[in-house]
Structure 1
Amino acid sequence: MDPVSNPLANLLDKIRGLSVWIEITTEDCTYYYGPFSTEAEAEQLKGHYIADLKAEGSEKIQVLVKKMRQPESLTVARTRTGARS
């Protein structure tokens, strides 16, 4: 059974503090969008976030949909050396 559609797996994820998030990395920042109830929901909505970033002039966009704990910050800026700040 797919873990996303398995109610027991969903309950365990909630207990462990895991949710589905969209992580979008551009040349300047990493953005986190969520939490979402399912990976399917995140997949369906990620195009809207990508379109917004493209409209703002972002290029080199990489997208991941993943289960994770809530990030400390929803926007992580990069320094000139490429390190996260």
Structure 2
Amino acid sequence: MKTDEIWTNALDFLGQAWWVEVLTTQPRCTYYFGPFGGAELANRAVSGYVEDLQSESAQEIKTQVKRCQPNRLTIEHDLED
């Protein structure tokens, strides 16, 4: 395991890693991509995640880079209602 992976895993364990949160309205989902060791790394990855979701016909895509510790990587809100 590389040093940067160890650092990122430690940050994630402590809830201090950076994640890309993506919200879509169709499907009505929240996606988390990460973890990242810094906000800059996470921001650089955003466009690739948006492109992937656009190719799957997701609509009204909103992104946010933030520190968090998601319990699930994909939350399908329509299934929870």
TM-score (norm 2): 0.76
Report the secondary structure of 1:72's partner residue.
Answer: coil
The separation in 2 between residues aligned to 1:17 and 1:78, in whole angstroms, is: 24
The separation in 1 between residues aligned to 2:14 and 2:52, in whole angstroms, is: 31
Aligned residues of 2:17 and 2:35 also touching (Cα < 8 A): yes
Report the secondary structure of 2:59's partner residue.
Answer: coil
The separation in 2 between residues aligned to 1:55 and 1:38, in whole angstroms, is: 27
Calculate percent identity across the aligned residue pairs.
32
Task: Tell me the CA shift for residue 34 of structure 1.
Answer: 0.2
Q: Which residue of structure 1 aligns with residue 73 of structure 2?
A: 74
- Tell me the amino acid that sits aligned with residue 55 of structure 1: S
Q: Based on CA coordinates, which of the two structures has the bigger radius of gyration?
A: 1
The separation in 1 between residues aligned to 2:59 and 2:73, in whole angstroms, is: 19
Where does the alignment leave 5 or more consecutive residues of structure 2 unmatched? 1-6
Q: Which residue of structure 1 aligns with residue 53 of structure 2?
A: 53
Q: Deviations over 1:35-69 (max 9, x none)?
A: 00110001111100000000000110010000112
CA RMSD of aligned residues (A): 2.0
Alignment of 1:1-85 (within 5 A): 14=11, 16-27=14-25, 28-69=28-69, 71-79=70-78, 85=80
Q: Deviations over 1:63-82 (max 9, x none)?
A: 0000112x111000012xxx
Where does the alignment leave 5 or more consecutive residues of structure 1 unmatched? 1-9
TM-score (norm 1): 0.73
